Amino acid sequence: MTDVTTRRLDLAGTRTFATPGAGQTRRRALAEFGFGWLQELWRDACAGRRHEGVALAAVGSLARGDGGPLSDYDLVLVHHPRGLSGKEVGAFADKLWYPIWDAGVRLDHSVRTVADCRAVASDDLSAAVGLLDLTHVAGDADVVNAARSTVAHDWRANARTRLGEMQESVVSRHARQGDLAHLIEPDLKEAHGGLRDMSVLRALTAAWLTDRPHGEVDQAYERILDVRDAIHVVTGRGRDRLTRDDQDACAALLGYTDADDLLTDLSTSARTIAYAVDGTLRRAMQSQRARTLRVGPRRPQLSPLGYGLYRHDGEAVLGPSADLSSDPVTPLRAAVVAARGGIPLSPTTLKNLAAQAPPLPEPWPEVARNLFADLLAAGPGLVTVWEGLDLAGVIERWIPEWKAVRSRPQRNAVHRHTVDRHLVETVVAASGMVRDVARPDLLMLAAVFHDIGKVPGSQDHSVTGADLADVALLRMGVSDTDRRTVVRLVRQHLTLVELATRRDPEDPATIAALSEAVDGSATTLDLLRALTEADASAAGPKAWSDWRAGLVTRLYDACRAALADRTEGEGPLVVEPIEMLPLSDDALDRVASGEPYVTVTSLGGAHRVDIIDRDRAGLFADTAGLLAAHGFVVRSAIVRTVDGVAVNEWWVDSPGNETPLPEVISRDLVRVASGDRSPLGKLQRRRSTGVRSPGSGSVDSTRAMVISSASESATVIEVRATDRPGLLQDIGITLARASLSVRSAHIATYAGQTLDTFYVTEFGGGQLAPARAAQAVAMIIDTCDGD
């Protein structure tokens, strides 16, 4: 080990690594030593001669002052072409480079004129970003300043063309290196969220297109630099990768209890930088696009998304009239809109949501539970939105248990993500299986909580997780029956795959064990089957192979068949009411006079709309259409018709925070019944701009089927489809066009999916013939998938 290397390691020390703030002091001392040593070498190379127009400059970590104990030196000998001859410059450079090599310091070097610097920056993106940090070390400072200012000027002037190249380079590097936050042996420099991304942030700022986040981002950068420095000291080599073999020693040097705590902090820091570079690059692209396209003063372009949010420059932002201080549900509304739209919430909106929105009451109101299920079912758009909410502290307010698993590493070769990211990826995977289960909302809850028990000190994360989930679900106000189901799924989430891979799937004892795990419930078994696949596929290809999938399917099919003969009384089907509910004299008088009787009851942000009216063809479709036209989202409904009178109960919530007005609904029903369709005019606009559920690309097509033997007097059709504005109206119109009468309907919306059951008859009564039933099912599917 040379004297220079020894000196650099001595400056790094070991006792100060665990001291807060010591890293900056250490790196400053290393930079000062490096500059001082190089200046000595410069004086020795000059041998008393003054070289006009020649200078030594640094780029990279030495120039920035954030190099580690054994980081490379990146040096440029800059010279004026009218100064020394090419031969003289080459000989002088050798006098500088050889002592550095002899000292054992890794060196990246070049010799360039100012014009050369400009040319190489123009041709090479990486060189351009590096030269933005060009810093004078020794010699003629004017030539270094000239090179740096020229490169910076060109960088700003050519930002429009270079920005796309930078974005492509960043995306490509992230794809190759992966996410630092979720890697067990991360490359601290090149991975997504690593040190290289801070150079990207600085370069974007230097282009004058956007500012970058500070504060937490700078702190995160310092933490990663501290880990990098520890690697250098522990290994005695200038490495950037934190290997398993070095994690314990680095953790001890940095003052952590164990390597898991080190990896947790490292992951949190990487997530902060990754989110910052993604957002800053996105805003820079939007800024450049606006700068290129606009003519005259730029006005904000706000496209409504629903729930008081707008799309602006590729991000979801709160509108100017939003009142965060009075509505604790606003963060959930905003998250649903952004996730479904596949766009991130803007940093300012996230900051305001975290700082101004009051906490949710306990238990949560029903509208909050519905929105949370919608958010979880949003599909791939959930990942970025959840990450932003988590970094802003909103997720922890909803789920305090989340804090213990945030950025927690998983020492398991099967898993590719930290615990919290794995939970989110499982939710995304499960969102593609919502048509396979009767209660997709319970599937989503089980997915987000299934590994919540992977906390320090837990002996069995399934048991610990079940207890934690029980507390969280109770806080959310989930009903006792649903809560027990989700808790059971969390506790048993490994049972199906373990039985399928370790036991004979066709052995009656194996089937009995699985049946006991799901409490003899076919609905719970379906949920467990979907959760098992979502969990394994989110973990990685090693956890969900064709072989494992085949064994799981064999055991599931065998157990499902064993449970098929049981009468469970569960699922979307409900017992059809036979008798008319008692009606008030006021209601009877109103209906007798030809006017609908409408009442509205509001509870916890949700609204119950009761409508009593004379039955007629298309009443169901018209009512559903009017509610959608007024901007209300139907969560559930029970539609009943007895003796020519329809008694309908609709549960809705309002993206615009409006309360349904009984007199308006009654008036519009009368107008529509008389042939005036104008009250439905707003629906078409809401179809394109309203809050929507995940698109058909994220899930299978509509499923509709006849449920045989469900009724002796009507044909029962069950429909599972992706919810959207006006869907119920479209189904109602389809049934009317098929000349069918809706005797009763039972509407439920879970996690963006409708699970609707229609009891239909021929006009005048009577079940449908098989051919007619098949025709009705086909028409419903075409209607649902035709949007």
Instruction: Give mean pLDDT in consecutive 10-residue pieces for the chain, a chain of 787 residues.
Output: 76 71 86 93 84 89 92 92 75 91 90 92 90 93 93 88 88 91 88 93 83 86 94 91 92 90 92 90 72 50 77 82 81 92 89 91 91 92 93 94 90 76 94 89 96 89 95 96 97 93 84 93 95 90 78 91 64 44 72 84 80 84 85 82 82 74 87 83 60 44 84 88 84 88 84 86 86 92 81
Helix runs in 593-655, H state only? 619-629
Residues 6+ apart with CB under 8 A from 102: 2
Amino acid at residue number 499: L
Query: For residue 313, which of 335, 334, 339, 286 has the smallest C-alpha distance?
Result: 286
Tell which residue, 107, 272, 292, has the closest CA to residue 197. Answer: 272
- Using CA atoms, how far apart are residues 186 and 188, in angstroms rounded to an integer? 6
Distant-in-sequence, close-in-space partners of 533: CB < 8 Å, separation ≥ 6: 429, 433, 544, 549, 552
* Amino acid (1-letter code) at residue 166: M
Q: Distance (Å, rounded) from C-alpha 162 to C-alpha 209?
A: 12
pTM above 0.75, yes or no: yes
Give CA–CA dist 109/410, Å, rounded: 41
User: Tokens 């956007």 belong to which residue?
Assistant: 210
3-state helix, strand, coil in the chain (%, to 5): 55, 15, 30
Output Rg (C-alpha) for the chain, integer angstroms.
33
Other Cβ atoms closer than 10 A to 479: 10
For tokens 């919810």, what's the residue? Answer: 723
Q: How many CB atoms lie within 10 A of CB 445?
A: 31
Within 10 Å of residue 39's Cβ, how many Cβ atoms? 14
